[in-house]
Amino acid sequence: MKKIGYTLAAVILFVLCSGTKALSQVGTPPSGSGTQVSPFLIDSLDNLLWLQDYFYRYSGGDYSKYYKQISDINASATSGWNSGQGFYPIGFSSAIFTGTYDGNGHTIDSLCINRPSQGNVGFFGDYSGTVKNLRLTNINITGSTPVGGLVGYCASGTITNCSTTGKIGSGAQYLGGLVGEAINSAIDSCFSTVSFNSTGGSFIGGFVGYSQETAISNCYSTGNIGGSSGGFELGGFAGGNEGGSGGHLTNCYSTGNVIDSSTSQNVGGFVGKNFSGGNIHKCYSTGNVQGYSYVGGFVGWNLPSCLIENSYSRGNAVSNGGTYVGGLVGFNDSPNGFIDTCYSTGNASGGTGFVGGLVGFNGGFVDSCFWDTLTSGLSSSAAGTGKSTAQMKTQSTFTSSGWDATVWNMDGATNDGYPYLAWQNSGGTPLPVEVASLSAVALNTSVGLKWTTATEVNNGGWEVERKAELGVVSDDWVKAGFVKGAGTSISPRQYSFSDPNLAAGTYAYRLKQIDRSGSFKYSSEVTVAVGTAPRVFTLSQNYPNPFNPTTTIEFTIPADGRVVLKVYDIVGREVATLLDEDMKAGVFQRAVFDATRLSSGIYFARLESGGKHLLKKMMLMK
């Protein structure tokens, strides 16, 4: 049981154990008052330093404040904080974070925490609040127990629309890509691509290390778990899932491999151990699994009074010479381990006993479940019905066994022709494509957009939409262009788009991501100011360069006055006068050079104004 209270001893202990950076530098207080109407506006790394410090300076302080992030934040400098220990997690046992943090679609990049002997480690350490719309990218976090990319220990908290990418180092137990340990909480529409090694600990999951009485829905993980030190409860999505009043995993999936070459036990492509009333509904895994005993393509060990239903696994399950290996579940416990309406297609092999195409050992109930006898390499199983690949790709195989057509789809193409869950190809797909970052930069009269994705499923592409920020309503968005998507990918992808020739002003941009079924969703918005030029004398490199036959030349002038822009060939002969007129300062000016009648070669643009001149070399290639 965690004890809530704030004592002077806790502050002293923090000072002694964490170095001096956080307390010797208090950061920059954000604007706002911390209320729901006027939240603290987190705009910089110094604001985060203030927030970190806020929890340790003010005894009797109010930890239920409201925070809203309004900019992307580069946190790479945290690697040098606190004598190399990095960022101190927000909230600890005597000062639990109970407030609301709205990331507002923004990122915190390269957050570093290096505290191998400290527990409750993550961006939030000890947490019972609400966090939403926050992206943590390129994290580098090490702690003891528990450790999570976003939250170390989450009790009665809510997490919505958040994500993590990067790596997590060592830890004794309860390690998760998003959350280390979650108890009596709610997590929805989140993902993690964090990968890490097993170090002989327990409850290690690509998304959550240990979930107890927690409802997790519409979430996924793609990170790999590897190691050679043994361990317990390793899962592509969750190390352990425990029930009680909650413990439901719904509409979730994992794609990462879980590979331990030593004596690990309870290893699953989705969950390592499902126990004490844990329920798994409409989920799947595709990663390969390797462990010693209790190894399953989907769940390693399904304990009594636990339910797995309407789920499937596509990965292989391999034992390092132990027992209880199954394509779906390694060990389905007695008396009441339930597996209903599920299937597997992966190979189950390597065990010295109790190896089955669907289930290695069955002491419970298995109903309306199938495995592919050809792809698994096994004609026997402790439970379930074996079918050929052709039968597994025939709809009547499943409808005749009472499979719900509103839950399952088959179209002969998706999922290699095997049944797939209806939410996988509908608007209910959990975050099939998620923008990890979006930025806009003005370059003279053009805007360059860059964005990244962590993973993609059926991504057709992106419509780039723009509107002028002049108080217009949202339906005044216009399409600026289209960028083709990567389809399906489990690796980060980078995209860019250039929007040229804009008039001076402030613009907003957003991405309309369209999947291959026609469904779409919008990203958060970014704004950028265009065309306000410094009052300096500059001549930019022409673009494109080399060119054929036209190119654009941009420049600025320090004061209103006469401007002459001419083009000369390599021997100094004038070949064109582009401008000879009075012009205004404070705006980006441009001229187009048409070299249709000229031969390939080197040319020079010469800008003259106020008694000064500038020169740029250009190359015409026909």
* Residue 52, H or E segment: helix 45-57
pLDDT at residue 246 in the model: 67
Least confident residue range of 262-266, 346-350, 493-497:
493-497
Region 508-536: mean pLDDT is 78
pLDDT band, very low/low/confident/very high, at 354 (cuts 50, 70, 90): very high
Q: 244 vs 501, which has greater pLDDT?
A: 501
Region 464-487: mean pLDDT is 75
Q: Across all residues in the chain, what is the average pLDDT?
A: 86
**What is the token pair recorded at 586?**
């404070």
* Residue 590, H or E segment: strand 589-594
Q: Is the pLDDT of residue 13 over 80?
A: no
Region 74-98: mean pLDDT is 89
pLDDT at residue 352 in the model: 92
Give the model confidence (pLDDT) of 282-338 as tens digits.
999 999 999 999 999 999 999 998 999 999 999 999 999 999 999 999 999 988 899
pLDDT band, very low/low/confident/very high, at 170 (cuts 50, 70, 90): low
pLDDT at residue 3 in the model: 34
Q: At what angle do helices 8-18 and 45-57 cross, to 10 degrees?
A: 140
* Residue 57, H or E segment: helix 45-57
Please give the DSSP secondary-structure letter assigned to residue 540.
Answer: P
Region 28-46: mean pLDDT is 91
If you write DSSP's letter for every residue of 317-355 in order, what string do you get?
EEESS-EEEESSEEEE-TTT-EEEEEEE-S-EE--SEEE
Region 9-25: mean pLDDT is 40
Residue type at 40?
F
pLDDT band, very low/low/confident/very high, at 20 (cuts 50, 70, 90): very low
The model scores a pTM over 0.75:
no
Q: Is the pLDDT of residue 78 over 90?
A: yes
pLDDT at residue 288 in the model: 95
Q: Is the pLDDT of residue 58 over 80?
A: no
pLDDT at residue 16 in the model: 37
Q: In what order do the strands lie in the sheet with 589-594?
A: 538-539, 550-556, 589-594
* β-pairing verdict for 323-326 and 112-114: unpaired
Region 404-410: mean pLDDT is 93
Q: Is the pLDDT of residue 21 over 60?
A: no
pLDDT at residue 14 in the model: 40
Least confident residue range of 156-170, 359-373, 384-398:
156-170
pLDDT band, very low/low/confident/very high, at 519 (cuts 50, 70, 90): low
pLDDT at residue 211 in the model: 95
* β-pairing verdict for 173-176 and 147-148: parallel
Q: 506 vs 67, which has greater pLDDT?
A: 67
Residue type at 323?
T
Give the model confidence (pLDDT) of 101-142 as tens digits.
999 888 999 999 999 989 899 999 988 999 999 999 999 999
